[in-house]
Each structure stands twice: as C-alpha cells, then as structure tokens.
Amino acid sequence: MNGTCTDNSQKPSNLRLVNETTKVETRVDSQLVARAIENDRGAIGELVRMHQDMWYRFCVLQLHDDELAKDATQETALRVVKDLHLFRGESQFRTWSFGIALNVCREFKRKRGKYVTLDIEQSGLGEMSCHDGEAVQKITHRESVNEMMRMLESLTDRQREAVVLRHLEELPTEEAAAAMNCAVGTVKATLSQALKRLRELMGVKQ
C-alpha cells in the first residue's frame, strides 16, 4: 500500500495474504458485476450482500448515527444497482461503490446538519479493527472504539473520509482518491493533516 504512515517491513507474510485475498475478491467482484450488468438478479443480490456490511461500516463512521447509517446503506445499495451500467472497471468495484456511499453520506449530512453521538453497542462497531498507520493503530488497539469515534469526530469531514477509506477500509491511496473524486496528492495532504491531528490528541510526539 502507498499510505503516508504505513510500515510494511514488519509483516511481509500478512501482506502476501492480504494481496492474495484482494486478488480473489477482485476476480469474484468482476464476475458478479459482469453478470449483474446483464440484469442477473441473483448476481445483483449477491453483490449487494457481499458489500452491504462494508457500506454500513463506512456510513456509520461518517454519520455517527446508527439509523441514519442504515438508511444511507440502503440508499447506497439502491444507487449501486441503478448505476451498475455506468461501472467501467476503471477501478475496483469496491472503490466505485465507496464513491457512491461517500456521496450519499455527504447528502445525508447536508440535510441533517451536525451529527449526534453514536451508540457503539447498537452499531456493532466494537468488532472493528485496523492494521495500517501508527496513529490509527493506536486508536483501535490501545483505545476503545468509543475513543476512536471521539477522535474521528475531531477531524473535518474530508479528513475523516480519507482516514476511514485509507486506514480502516485499507484502500490504496490511489483507490481512496478515486472514491473521493480528488487527486492522489490531495488525499496524501489530507491524511497528513488528519494523522497529525490524531497524534496530537493521543500525545504522540511528532
């Protein structure tokens, strides 16, 4: 991965496993998408089932509201199905669908305004883990999920989007940029600002 704060030298076997898993997932996605575009209802249903938990996790981290995140996840699924014919394969299906989820969340936030405090137990985020980035690792492994949510709340919307996509969903920087519809350099700069802020909150020396 190409993230700013990733140290890959300590876990080559893990990286090989992740890379192989990603290749398999990409092949499965491609096969399902091809069938779904041809209006195979079974493939469409399977594609949604495979990704709906991922969409929900992303939405709840952006919206900080369980019910709103469920609504956003449903809207994401509807738009993904409706716009499948627009998918050109220029990025992974997962990345493309994140772009849709991101736009849905932005719309929901504009309509609702300031988010409220999330009920962690209700959302099921207690099982979430993270593997990349010093600051994000410290949040998810040393601190509670509640603390992680509090720290994410301290970021701007753009910073939160970048951190969640790059470090929690583990998208390569280029894929995160595609989902956010911005330049790779913009994502890197945004991540740098976000991780600096997270380190400050945790008292990590720069």
12 pLDDT higher than 60? no
Name the helix (H) or strand (E) containing 190.
Answer: helix 184-202
pLDDT single digits (tens) 71-130: 999 999 999 999 999 998 888 899 999 999 999 999 999 988 654 444 544 444 444 444
Tokens linked to 117: 């405090």
pLDDT single digits (tens) 87-103: 988 888 999 999 999 99
Return the pLDDT at 202: 82
201 pLDDT higher than 90? no
Return the pLDDT at 206: 58
86-111: b (≥16 Cβ within 10 Å) or e: ebeeebbbbbbbbbbbbebbeebbee
pLDDT single digits (tens) 136-195: 555 544 446 677 788 888 999 999 999 999 998 999 999 999 999 999 999 999 999 999
Return the pLDDT at 134: 54
DSSP 165: I
The span from the CA of 67 to the CA of 44, in Å, is 24
pLDDT single digits (tens) 15-60: 333 344 344 455 567 888 999 999 999 999 999 999 999 999 999 9
Burial class of 193 by CB neighbour count within 10 A (0 to 12, 13 to 18, 19+): middle
Where are the chain's structural domains? 11-117, 128-206
CATH code given to domain 11-117: 1.10.1740.10
133 pLDDT higher than 70? no
| Domain 128-206 part of CATH 1.10.1270.20 | no
